[in-house]
Structure 1
Protein backbone atom coordinates (compact mmCIF):
# COMPACT_ATOMS: atom_id res chain seq x y z
CA UNK A 1 0.00 0.00 0.00
CA UNK A 2 1.54 3.34 -1.01
CA UNK A 3 2.23 5.52 2.00
CA UNK A 4 0.34 8.52 0.62
CA UNK A 5 -2.92 6.74 1.47
CA UNK A 6 -1.64 6.10 5.02
CA UNK A 7 -0.46 9.58 6.00
CA UNK A 8 -3.47 10.02 8.26
CA UNK A 9 -3.57 6.45 9.56
CA UNK A 10 0.03 6.35 10.74
CA UNK A 11 -0.49 9.42 12.90
CA UNK A 12 -2.11 7.17 15.51
CA UNK A 13 -0.90 4.09 17.34
CA UNK A 14 -3.91 2.11 16.07
CA UNK A 15 -3.17 3.13 12.50
CA UNK A 16 0.49 2.19 12.84
CA UNK A 17 -0.48 -1.23 14.22
CA UNK A 18 -2.53 -1.83 11.07
CA UNK A 19 0.41 -0.82 8.90
CA UNK A 20 2.77 -3.14 10.78
CA UNK A 21 0.32 -6.02 10.51
CA UNK A 22 -0.05 -5.47 6.77
CA UNK A 23 3.72 -5.78 6.43
CA UNK A 24 3.86 -8.86 8.69
CA UNK A 25 5.82 -6.89 11.31
CA UNK A 26 5.17 -6.46 15.00
CA UNK A 27 6.35 -3.72 17.33
CA UNK A 28 8.72 -6.28 18.88
CA UNK A 29 10.16 -7.18 15.49
CA UNK A 30 10.66 -3.52 14.65
CA UNK A 31 12.52 -2.92 17.91
CA UNK A 32 14.65 -6.01 17.29
CA UNK A 33 15.54 -4.86 13.78
CA UNK A 34 16.30 -1.35 14.99
CA UNK A 35 18.58 -2.62 17.72
CA UNK A 36 20.47 -4.79 15.23
CA UNK A 37 20.85 -1.89 12.81
CA UNK A 38 21.92 0.78 15.25
CA UNK A 39 25.54 -0.24 15.63
CA UNK A 40 28.56 1.49 14.25
CA UNK A 41 30.00 -0.25 11.20
CA UNK A 42 33.67 -0.11 10.19
CA UNK A 43 34.83 3.09 8.50
CA UNK A 44 35.56 2.74 4.77
CA UNK A 45 39.12 1.81 3.90
CA UNK A 46 38.87 4.01 0.80
CA UNK A 47 37.75 7.61 1.26
CA UNK A 48 38.30 11.11 -0.05
CA UNK A 49 40.74 13.36 1.79
CA UNK A 50 39.42 15.75 4.41
CA UNK A 51 40.09 19.40 3.75
CA UNK A 52 39.11 19.99 0.13
CA UNK A 53 37.76 23.45 -0.65
CA UNK A 54 34.15 24.21 -1.56
CA UNK A 55 31.06 22.07 -1.08
CA UNK A 56 30.17 18.56 -2.24
CA UNK A 57 26.95 16.64 -2.75
CA UNK A 58 25.83 13.06 -2.33
CA UNK A 59 22.41 11.51 -2.88
CA UNK A 60 21.21 8.59 -0.77
CA UNK A 61 18.06 6.48 -0.85
CA UNK A 62 17.28 4.31 2.14
CA UNK A 63 13.54 3.89 2.54
CA UNK A 64 11.19 6.66 3.60
CA UNK A 65 12.98 9.96 3.06
CA UNK A 66 11.57 11.40 6.29
CA UNK A 67 14.01 9.44 8.43
CA UNK A 68 17.02 9.66 6.13
CA UNK A 69 16.62 13.43 5.88
CA UNK A 70 16.11 13.68 9.65
CA UNK A 71 19.36 11.86 10.35
CA UNK A 72 21.53 13.92 8.04
CA UNK A 73 19.99 17.21 9.14
CA UNK A 74 21.68 16.46 12.47
CA UNK A 75 25.16 15.74 11.07
CA UNK A 76 27.86 18.31 11.72
CA UNK A 77 29.27 19.52 8.41
CA UNK A 78 26.06 18.99 6.44
CA UNK A 79 24.78 22.28 5.04
CA UNK A 80 21.54 20.94 3.55
CA UNK A 81 19.62 17.65 3.45
CA UNK A 82 16.65 17.78 1.09
CA UNK A 83 14.04 15.08 0.50
CA UNK A 84 13.28 14.25 -3.11
CA UNK A 85 13.28 11.70 -5.89
CA UNK A 86 16.08 10.22 -8.00
CA UNK A 87 16.29 7.42 -10.54
CA UNK A 88 13.45 8.51 -12.84
CA UNK A 89 12.38 11.38 -15.05
CA UNK A 90 11.23 14.87 -14.15
CA UNK A 91 7.84 14.30 -15.77
CA UNK A 92 6.56 11.99 -13.03
CA UNK A 93 8.65 13.02 -10.03
CA UNK A 94 5.61 13.67 -7.83
CA UNK A 95 4.80 11.85 -4.61
CA UNK A 96 1.47 10.38 -5.67
CA UNK A 97 3.03 8.92 -8.83
CA UNK A 98 6.32 7.81 -7.29
CA UNK A 99 4.34 5.99 -4.59
CA UNK A 100 2.98 3.58 -7.21
CA UNK A 101 6.48 2.11 -7.53
CA UNK A 102 6.33 2.26 -11.32
CA UNK A 103 8.38 5.38 -12.12
CA UNK A 104 11.90 4.15 -11.36
CA UNK A 105 12.40 6.78 -8.68
CA UNK A 106 13.56 6.12 -5.15
CA UNK A 107 12.68 8.36 -2.24
CA UNK A 108 16.05 10.05 -1.82
CA UNK A 109 17.88 12.72 0.12
CA UNK A 110 20.35 15.13 -1.48
CA UNK A 111 23.02 16.00 1.06
CA UNK A 112 25.27 19.01 0.62
CA UNK A 113 28.28 19.04 2.91
CA UNK A 114 31.51 20.83 3.74
CA UNK A 115 34.43 18.47 2.92
CA UNK A 116 36.66 20.45 5.25
CA UNK A 117 34.52 19.15 8.13
CA UNK A 118 33.30 15.70 7.07
CA UNK A 119 34.15 13.26 4.30
CA UNK A 120 32.02 11.35 1.84
CA UNK A 121 33.15 8.11 3.47
CA UNK A 122 32.12 9.21 6.95
CA UNK A 123 28.68 10.14 5.60
CA UNK A 124 28.39 6.65 4.09
CA UNK A 125 29.45 5.15 7.42
CA UNK A 126 26.61 7.05 9.13
CA UNK A 127 24.21 5.95 6.40
CA UNK A 128 25.06 2.27 6.83
CA UNK A 129 25.16 2.48 10.63
CA UNK A 130 21.92 4.29 11.48
CA UNK A 131 20.00 5.64 8.46
CA UNK A 132 18.97 2.46 6.64
CA UNK A 133 18.96 -1.33 6.82
CA UNK A 134 21.05 -2.13 3.73
CA UNK A 135 20.09 -5.81 3.73
CA UNK A 136 16.43 -5.18 2.88
CA UNK A 137 15.51 -5.33 -0.81
CA UNK A 138 12.93 -2.83 -2.07
CA UNK A 139 11.73 -2.32 1.49
CA UNK A 140 12.40 -0.52 4.74
CA UNK A 141 10.29 -1.97 7.54
CA UNK A 142 6.57 -1.43 6.70
CA UNK A 143 7.27 0.45 3.44
CA UNK A 144 7.56 -1.83 0.43
CA UNK A 145 8.23 -1.18 -3.23
CA UNK A 146 11.17 -0.19 -5.42
CA UNK A 147 10.73 3.45 -4.36
CA UNK A 148 11.98 2.39 -0.90
CA UNK A 149 15.15 0.67 -2.13
CA UNK A 150 18.58 1.31 -0.69
CA UNK A 151 20.69 3.07 -3.30
CA UNK A 152 23.66 5.42 -3.49
CA UNK A 153 23.32 7.76 -6.48
CA UNK A 154 26.92 8.60 -7.31
CA UNK A 155 27.55 12.10 -8.63
CA UNK A 156 31.20 11.47 -9.61
CA UNK A 157 33.31 8.45 -10.60
CA UNK A 158 35.22 8.85 -7.32
CA UNK A 159 32.01 8.57 -5.32
CA UNK A 160 31.05 5.42 -7.22
CA UNK A 161 34.47 3.85 -6.62
CA UNK A 162 34.37 4.60 -2.88
CA UNK A 163 30.82 3.26 -2.54
CA UNK A 164 31.57 0.03 -4.45
CA UNK A 165 34.72 -0.55 -2.39
CA UNK A 166 32.86 0.11 0.87
CA UNK A 167 30.05 -2.32 0.09
CA UNK A 168 32.62 -4.99 -0.80
CA UNK A 169 34.43 -4.28 2.47
CA UNK A 170 31.23 -4.63 4.52
CA UNK A 171 30.31 -7.87 2.78
CA UNK A 172 33.79 -9.33 3.16
CA UNK A 173 33.85 -8.53 6.88
CA UNK A 174 30.33 -9.96 7.28
CA UNK A 175 29.26 -6.83 9.09
CA UNK A 176 25.62 -7.81 8.58
CA UNK A 177 23.95 -11.20 8.84
CA UNK A 178 22.88 -10.89 5.20
CA UNK A 179 24.61 -9.43 2.13
CA UNK A 180 24.39 -5.69 1.53
CA UNK A 181 21.64 -5.08 -1.02
CA UNK A 182 22.42 -1.39 -1.50
CA UNK A 183 22.79 -0.46 -5.17
CA UNK A 184 25.40 1.96 -6.45
CA UNK A 185 23.71 3.88 -9.24
CA UNK A 186 24.37 7.09 -11.12
CA UNK A 187 22.58 10.33 -10.40
CA UNK A 188 20.43 11.07 -13.44
CA UNK A 189 18.54 13.96 -11.86
CA UNK A 190 17.36 14.83 -8.37
CA UNK A 191 13.90 16.35 -8.00
CA UNK A 192 12.91 17.99 -4.68
CA UNK A 193 9.90 16.53 -2.90
CA UNK A 194 6.87 18.57 -2.06
CA UNK A 195 7.16 21.03 0.80
CA UNK A 196 5.00 19.00 3.19
CA UNK A 197 7.64 16.24 3.08
CA UNK A 198 10.54 18.53 3.99
CA UNK A 199 11.67 18.61 7.64
CA UNK A 200 8.98 16.04 8.42
CA UNK A 201 10.80 14.47 11.35
CA UNK A 202 11.40 17.84 13.00
CA UNK A 203 7.86 19.08 12.42
CA UNK A 204 6.03 15.87 13.39
CA UNK A 205 7.96 14.24 16.26
CA UNK A 206 4.69 13.05 17.81
CA UNK A 207 3.74 10.95 14.77
CA UNK A 208 3.80 7.28 15.74
CA UNK A 209 5.54 6.47 12.45
CA UNK A 210 8.32 8.97 13.20
CA UNK A 211 8.57 7.86 16.83
CA UNK A 212 8.79 4.17 15.91
CA UNK A 213 11.00 4.19 12.84
CA UNK A 214 12.86 7.49 12.61
CA UNK A 215 13.55 9.17 15.95
CA UNK A 216 15.52 6.08 17.08
CA UNK A 217 17.85 6.70 14.12
CA UNK A 218 18.59 10.21 15.33
CA UNK A 219 19.15 8.86 18.82
CA UNK A 220 21.55 6.27 17.46
CA UNK A 221 23.40 8.96 15.53
CA UNK A 222 23.91 10.93 18.74
CA UNK A 223 25.04 7.82 20.62
CA UNK A 224 27.32 6.27 18.00
CA UNK A 225 28.72 9.43 16.37
CA UNK A 226 28.76 12.01 19.20
CA UNK A 227 31.42 14.22 17.60
CA UNK A 228 29.49 14.32 14.32
CA UNK A 229 26.11 14.99 15.91
CA UNK A 230 24.54 18.44 15.78
CA UNK A 231 21.66 19.06 18.18
CA UNK A 232 20.25 21.82 15.94
CA UNK A 233 18.93 20.43 12.63
CA UNK A 234 19.67 22.17 9.34
CA UNK A 235 16.20 22.75 7.89
CA UNK A 236 15.09 23.08 4.27
CA UNK A 237 13.33 26.33 3.39
CA UNK A 238 11.64 27.82 0.37
CA UNK A 239 9.80 24.79 -1.05
CA UNK A 240 6.04 25.06 -1.49
CA UNK A 241 3.79 22.31 -0.11
CA UNK A 242 2.13 21.65 -3.44
Structure 2
Protein backbone atom coordinates (compact mmCIF):
# COMPACT_ATOMS: atom_id res chain seq x y z
CA UNK A 1 0.00 0.00 0.00
CA UNK A 2 1.40 3.38 -1.03
CA UNK A 3 0.61 6.15 1.42
CA UNK A 4 1.57 9.80 1.22
CA UNK A 5 2.37 11.44 4.56
CA UNK A 6 2.03 15.12 5.14
CA UNK A 7 3.77 16.51 8.23
CA UNK A 8 2.15 19.30 10.02
CA UNK A 9 3.17 21.18 13.07
CA UNK A 10 1.46 19.81 16.14
CA UNK A 11 1.36 23.34 17.49
CA UNK A 12 -0.77 24.43 14.52
CA UNK A 13 -3.42 21.81 15.21
CA UNK A 14 -3.09 22.63 18.89
CA UNK A 15 -4.00 26.25 18.19
CA UNK A 16 -7.17 25.17 16.34
CA UNK A 17 -8.12 22.85 19.21
CA UNK A 18 -7.37 25.60 21.74
CA UNK A 19 -9.47 28.02 19.68
CA UNK A 20 -12.43 25.64 19.72
CA UNK A 21 -12.00 25.08 23.45
CA UNK A 22 -11.76 28.82 24.11
CA UNK A 23 -15.08 29.37 22.36
CA UNK A 24 -16.77 26.82 24.58
CA UNK A 25 -15.21 28.33 27.72
CA UNK A 26 -16.23 31.82 26.62
CA UNK A 27 -19.81 30.68 26.10
CA UNK A 28 -19.86 29.16 29.57
CA UNK A 29 -18.54 32.38 31.09
CA UNK A 30 -21.20 34.45 29.35
CA UNK A 31 -23.92 32.11 30.57
CA UNK A 32 -22.59 32.26 34.14
CA UNK A 33 -22.51 36.06 34.04
CA UNK A 34 -26.04 36.12 32.68
CA UNK A 35 -27.35 34.05 35.59
CA UNK A 36 -25.70 36.19 38.33
CA UNK A 37 -28.35 37.94 40.54
CA UNK A 38 -28.78 41.62 39.70
CA UNK A 39 -26.43 43.89 41.61
CA UNK A 40 -29.15 46.23 42.82
CA UNK A 41 -31.04 43.43 44.60
CA UNK A 42 -28.00 42.84 46.78
CA UNK A 43 -27.57 46.54 47.53
CA UNK A 44 -31.21 47.05 48.52
CA UNK A 45 -31.02 44.06 50.82
CA UNK A 46 -27.86 45.36 52.46
CA UNK A 47 -28.83 49.04 52.86
CA UNK A 48 -32.59 49.00 53.45
CA UNK A 49 -33.31 51.37 56.39
CA UNK A 50 -34.83 50.03 59.58
CA UNK A 51 -37.98 51.89 60.63
CA UNK A 52 -37.62 53.80 63.95
CA UNK A 53 -40.53 54.16 66.41
CA UNK A 54 -42.28 57.53 66.38
CA UNK A 55 -41.60 59.79 69.41
CA UNK A 56 -45.35 60.25 69.95
CA UNK A 57 -47.72 57.58 71.19
CA UNK A 58 -49.03 57.23 67.66
CA UNK A 59 -48.38 53.89 65.91
CA UNK A 60 -44.94 53.55 64.35
CA UNK A 61 -44.77 53.71 60.53
CA UNK A 62 -44.50 50.45 58.71
CA UNK A 63 -41.00 49.14 58.03
CA UNK A 64 -39.57 49.61 54.54
CA UNK A 65 -39.85 46.27 52.71
CA UNK A 66 -36.52 44.53 52.14
CA UNK A 67 -35.89 42.72 48.87
CA UNK A 68 -35.76 38.98 49.27
CA UNK A 69 -33.56 36.50 47.38
CA UNK A 70 -33.97 36.46 43.58
CA UNK A 71 -36.67 34.11 42.30
CA UNK A 72 -35.42 31.01 40.50
CA UNK A 73 -36.89 30.68 37.01
CA UNK A 74 -39.08 27.69 36.36
CA UNK A 75 -38.16 25.04 33.78
CA UNK A 76 -40.85 26.37 31.46
CA UNK A 77 -39.38 29.88 31.62
CA UNK A 78 -35.88 28.58 30.89
CA UNK A 79 -37.14 26.64 27.86
CA UNK A 80 -38.98 29.73 26.63
CA UNK A 81 -35.83 31.84 26.86
CA UNK A 82 -33.76 29.20 25.09
CA UNK A 83 -36.31 29.02 22.28
CA UNK A 84 -36.08 32.78 21.77
CA UNK A 85 -32.26 32.87 21.71
CA UNK A 86 -30.74 33.71 18.30
CA UNK A 87 -29.40 30.67 16.49
CA UNK A 88 -26.09 32.38 15.75
CA UNK A 89 -25.33 32.60 19.47
CA UNK A 90 -25.56 28.81 19.81
CA UNK A 91 -23.14 27.89 16.99
CA UNK A 92 -19.40 28.53 16.96
CA UNK A 93 -18.45 27.64 13.38
CA UNK A 94 -14.97 28.08 11.98
CA UNK A 95 -13.45 26.74 8.80
CA UNK A 96 -11.49 23.49 9.16
CA UNK A 97 -7.82 23.85 8.19
CA UNK A 98 -6.15 21.54 5.71
CA UNK A 99 -5.27 18.31 7.48
CA UNK A 100 -2.50 15.76 7.10
CA UNK A 101 -4.16 14.02 4.13
CA UNK A 102 -3.01 15.03 0.63
CA UNK A 103 -6.24 16.32 -0.92
CA UNK A 104 -5.31 16.09 -4.58
CA UNK A 105 -7.65 13.64 -6.31
CA UNK A 106 -10.12 13.48 -3.40
CA UNK A 107 -13.81 14.35 -3.64
CA UNK A 108 -15.39 16.92 -1.33
CA UNK A 109 -16.98 14.65 1.29
CA UNK A 110 -13.77 12.66 1.58
CA UNK A 111 -11.83 15.90 2.11
CA UNK A 112 -14.37 16.99 4.71
CA UNK A 113 -13.96 13.75 6.67
CA UNK A 114 -10.15 13.90 6.42
CA UNK A 115 -9.99 17.47 7.70
CA UNK A 116 -12.31 16.83 10.63
CA UNK A 117 -10.37 13.73 11.67
CA UNK A 118 -7.05 15.59 11.40
CA UNK A 119 -8.32 18.36 13.66
CA UNK A 120 -10.04 16.23 16.29
CA UNK A 121 -7.41 13.48 16.47
CA UNK A 122 -4.01 15.23 16.55
CA UNK A 123 -2.29 11.89 17.26
CA UNK A 124 -2.78 11.06 13.57
CA UNK A 125 0.28 11.99 11.52
CA UNK A 126 -0.48 10.17 8.25
CA UNK A 127 -3.64 9.80 6.17
CA UNK A 128 -3.44 8.18 2.75
CA UNK A 129 -5.80 9.34 0.02
CA UNK A 130 -5.79 9.03 -3.76
CA UNK A 131 -3.83 6.10 -5.22
CA UNK A 132 -4.17 3.43 -7.87
CA UNK A 133 -5.93 0.28 -6.72
CA UNK A 134 -7.91 -2.63 -8.09
CA UNK A 135 -11.02 -1.34 -6.33
CA UNK A 136 -12.59 2.00 -7.19
CA UNK A 137 -12.48 3.75 -3.81
CA UNK A 138 -9.00 5.24 -3.75
CA UNK A 139 -8.59 5.88 -7.52
CA UNK A 140 -11.93 7.76 -7.53
CA UNK A 141 -11.06 9.94 -4.53
CA UNK A 142 -13.71 8.27 -2.38
CA UNK A 143 -11.54 6.84 0.39
CA UNK A 144 -8.87 7.69 2.94
CA UNK A 145 -6.67 5.44 5.09
CA UNK A 146 -6.13 6.84 8.59
CA UNK A 147 -2.88 5.30 9.84
CA UNK A 148 -2.99 4.44 13.56
CA UNK A 149 0.23 4.96 15.56
CA UNK A 150 1.28 1.99 17.72
CA UNK A 151 -1.73 0.14 16.35
CA UNK A 152 -1.12 -3.09 18.30
CA UNK A 153 -1.22 -1.38 21.70
CA UNK A 154 -4.43 -0.95 23.72
CA UNK A 155 -4.14 2.80 23.19
CA UNK A 156 -3.75 2.38 19.43
CA UNK A 157 -6.74 0.04 19.20
CA UNK A 158 -8.85 2.45 21.27
CA UNK A 159 -7.84 5.35 19.00
CA UNK A 160 -8.81 3.36 15.91
CA UNK A 161 -12.13 2.46 17.55
CA UNK A 162 -12.82 6.15 18.25
CA UNK A 163 -12.03 7.23 14.69
CA UNK A 164 -14.11 4.45 13.14
CA UNK A 165 -16.97 5.29 15.50
CA UNK A 166 -16.72 9.00 14.72
CA UNK A 167 -16.92 8.32 10.99
CA UNK A 168 -19.97 6.09 11.45
CA UNK A 169 -21.63 8.67 13.71
CA UNK A 170 -21.31 11.14 10.81
CA UNK A 171 -22.38 8.62 8.17
CA UNK A 172 -25.34 10.63 6.94
CA UNK A 173 -23.48 13.95 6.94
CA UNK A 174 -20.39 12.70 5.11
CA UNK A 175 -22.16 10.14 2.96
CA UNK A 176 -20.18 7.29 4.48
CA UNK A 177 -20.38 4.17 2.32
CA UNK A 178 -18.34 1.95 4.62
CA UNK A 179 -15.59 1.84 7.23
CA UNK A 180 -13.07 -1.00 7.54
CA UNK A 181 -11.09 -1.52 10.76
CA UNK A 182 -9.38 -4.65 12.13
CA UNK A 183 -10.72 -7.01 9.45
CA UNK A 184 -14.32 -5.93 9.92
CA UNK A 185 -16.37 -3.84 7.47
CA UNK A 186 -19.02 -1.45 8.79
CA UNK A 187 -21.54 -0.11 6.26
CA UNK A 188 -22.69 3.46 6.78
CA UNK A 189 -26.05 2.03 7.80
CA UNK A 190 -26.36 -1.62 8.75
CA UNK A 191 -24.60 -4.41 10.60
CA UNK A 192 -20.83 -5.04 10.34
CA UNK A 193 -19.33 -8.22 8.94
CA UNK A 194 -15.91 -9.84 8.81
CA UNK A 195 -13.77 -9.44 5.71
CA UNK A 196 -11.70 -12.18 4.13
CA UNK A 197 -8.19 -12.76 5.45
CA UNK A 198 -5.89 -10.98 3.00
CA UNK A 199 -2.70 -12.31 4.57
CA UNK A 200 -1.15 -9.29 6.34
CA UNK A 201 -2.11 -6.65 8.86
CA UNK A 202 -2.20 -3.79 6.35
CA UNK A 203 -4.47 -5.61 3.90
CA UNK A 204 -6.63 -6.70 6.83
CA UNK A 205 -6.82 -3.07 8.09
CA UNK A 206 -5.20 -3.67 11.47
CA UNK A 207 -2.85 -0.68 11.14
CA UNK A 208 -5.28 1.81 9.62
CA UNK A 209 -8.94 2.78 9.45
CA UNK A 210 -10.27 2.81 5.89
CA UNK A 211 -13.10 5.33 5.42
CA UNK A 212 -15.03 5.52 2.13
CA UNK A 213 -17.65 8.12 1.19
CA UNK A 214 -20.02 8.65 -1.72
CA UNK A 215 -17.79 11.53 -2.80
CA UNK A 216 -20.05 14.47 -3.55
CA UNK A 217 -18.05 15.50 -6.60
CA UNK A 218 -14.59 16.96 -7.09
CA UNK A 219 -13.83 20.30 -5.44
CA UNK A 220 -13.96 23.58 -7.34
CA UNK A 221 -11.59 25.30 -4.93
CA UNK A 222 -14.31 27.43 -3.35
CA UNK A 223 -15.57 24.95 -0.75
CA UNK A 224 -15.55 25.84 2.95
CA UNK A 225 -15.51 22.89 5.36
CA UNK A 226 -16.88 23.12 8.91
CA UNK A 227 -17.29 20.45 11.58
CA UNK A 228 -21.06 20.32 11.10
CA UNK A 229 -21.59 21.58 7.57
CA UNK A 230 -19.96 22.37 4.25
CA UNK A 231 -20.64 25.23 1.83
CA UNK A 232 -19.82 24.72 -1.85
CA UNK A 233 -18.98 28.39 -2.43
CA UNK A 234 -17.84 31.25 -0.18
CA UNK A 235 -20.70 33.18 1.45
CA UNK A 236 -21.66 36.48 -0.23
Superposed pair shares fold, TM > 0.5: no
Looking at both structures, which has the greater relative contact order when contacts are Cα pairs under 8 Å and sequence separation is at least 6? Answer: 1
> What's the TM-score, normalizing by structure 1?
0.29
Higher Cα Rg, which structure: 2
> What's the TM-score, normalizing by structure 2?
0.29
Higher helix share: 1
